[in-house]
Homo-oligomer: A and B are copies of this chain.
Amino acid sequence: MMRTYEQGEHSSAVWAGVSGTLEKIEALDFLDRLAAGDLDAQSFVNYIHQDGLYLNGYAKAMSLLAAKAPTAEEARFWNRSAADAVEAETVMHADLLSDDRFAKVSEEIAPGGVAEPSPTTLGYVSYLVATAATEPYEAGVAAVLPCFWVYAHMGKVLVERAGDLTANPYAAWVQAYDSPDFDSAVDDAVTLYERCAAGTTEDGRRRMADAFAQATVYELHFWATSAAFQDWSV
């Protein structure tokens, strides 16, 4: 049985509430092909560039949560997670460019290493930053959680689906989110969600669930549009 991350009634309820969106994510052709290793290099490289842009914005949102956290311990968690997100982005980029096939495609898609955010990427990171900046702290906690939780979940799904990764050119990325360290960070983030939900009002919990659901839909859009090379034409 696959590892799960629920930490109590509130996190269990909110995870159950997005099951429809999770099924759509699991059914994406993009992830099947990533697991099978036959995804075209363009789609993959585009995905990594969009993810890099995403992670820097994601780190900003977590920095704002650090500034608003009610305890020093929570503040430290967000600061560490933000620093780790920026570092993950740097490592992913270096991994990409160290592989000749990807490095060449990368230069075509993002000349000089500069990629443009897609509408989905810009919408998602802006939503996280705006929520962390102007909504109650607990709603911000809920908004950044899917990127922890859905990624960890999909990491497990992908590793199981992929089987033997020896010949898979995307092995490093498939395995990246299936690690004890990342699992532990996800446990901490879900625990924090649980504590915030327990300590707020009914209205606060509704906002948390709404933000969690919205960010999970953005996760779906993010994976769906990376492969589709979404641009700004109308």
Chain A positions within 8 Å of B, measured between CB atoms, are 24, 56-57, 59-61, 63-64, 66-68, 72-73, 75-76, 78-80, 82-83, 86-87, 89-90, 119-120, 122-123, 125-127, 129-131, 133-137, 199-201, 203, 214, 217, 220-221, 224-225, 232, 234
Could you tell me if A60 and B67 are in contact, using CB atoms closer than 8 angstroms?
Answer: yes
Could you tell me if B87 and A75 are in contact, using CB atoms closer than 8 angstroms?
Answer: no
Copies in the complex: 4
**Nearest CB in chain B to that of A77: its residue:** B83
In the complex with contacts A79-B82, A199-B203, A221-B234, A67-B126 CB distance below 8 A: no
Report which of B68, B136, B221, B234 forms a contact with A134, defined as CB distance below 8 A: B68
Could you tell me if B119 and A221 are in contact, using CB atoms closer than 8 angstroms?
Answer: yes
- Chain B residue contacts of A90, Cβ below 8 A: 72
| Closest CB in chain B relative to A194 CB, distance in Å | 16
A220 CA to B233 CA, complexed, in Å? 10
In the complex with contacts A122-B127, A136-B137, A67-B76 CB distance below 8 A: no
Report which of B61, B76, B225, B232 forms a contact with A217, defined as CB distance below 8 A: B232
In the complex with contacts A59-B72, A79-B82, A123-B119 CB distance below 8 A: yes
Could you tell me if B68 and A86 are in contact, using CB atoms closer than 8 angstroms?
Answer: no
